[in-house]
Amino acid sequence: MTGLIGKKLGMTRVIQDDGRVIPMTVIQCEPNVIAQIKTVEKDGYPAIVLGFSQLKKPTKTRKFHAMKEFRIGAEEQVNKGDTLTVEVFKEGDEVSVTGTSKGKGFQGVVKRHHMAGGPASHGSHFHREPGSVGARAKPGKILRGKRMAGHMGNETTTVRTSVVYLDSKKNLIGIKGPVPGSNNGIVSLKKLN
């Protein structure tokens, strides 16, 4: 299997035997249920759809809090209803973690794009503004993709990191460094090697 869905609990650190301190994000991955199996004959590619955190009152269309599709090899044998635990991973595995980053609302160019702004001294009327944005009469418009103020955060973000801690009894995985999203947010982990 290639991945799991989990809930971000927060950050802590682990101290190695040689004294190194490694910051890590703790993710709780309670057993994921295989909700659907996709085959080459029916769907064109082999994959499984995992369900995370079963709802107390499931409906006809929704049975889990979160669902995610993971590609598998055509030769892998899986059954609908099987569960996957944190034992899919082992310490040292390279993983990519995907989550929804924290929303920051509407932000200006200094915070959103790290622009320098103008002089902060008295008499300056240009502190945190974006400055000139238009070209001449030739385009007669602002070109698409111009870095300007706008909505920041609340978008799908992926980081590549490694597993530094595993606790199969408590269904916990320690991921090196920060992971996108707020605490108690849903994230998905995908094995890279």
Q: Give the angle subtended at the CA of 55 by the CAs of 84 and 48, to the nearest 5°.
A: 35
Task: Label residue 132 by pLDDT band (50, 70, 90).
Answer: confident
Q: Would the pLDDT of 1 be above 70?
A: no
Average pLDDT over residues 21-39: 93
Average pLDDT over residues 125-140: 87
- Domain-located, residue 136: no
**Which residue type is seen at 155?**
E
The C-alpha atoms of residue 53 and residue 36 are separated, in whole angstroms, by 15
- Domain-located, residue 135: no
- Domain-located, residue 118: no
- Domain-located, residue 115: no
Number of folded domains that form the chain: 1
Domain of residue 176, CATH code: 2.40.30.10
- Domain-located, residue 93: yes
The C-alpha atoms of residue 68 and residue 50 are separated, in whole angstroms, by 5
What pLDDT, on a 0 to 100 scale, did the predictor assign at position 139? 85
Q: Would the pLDDT of 193 be above 80?
A: no
Range of the domain at 169: 3-55+63-109+149-191
Least confident of 2-16, 53-67, 161-175: 53-67
The C-alpha atoms of residue 131 and residue 135 are separated, in whole angstroms, by 12
- Domain-located, residue 126: no
- Domain-located, residue 139: no
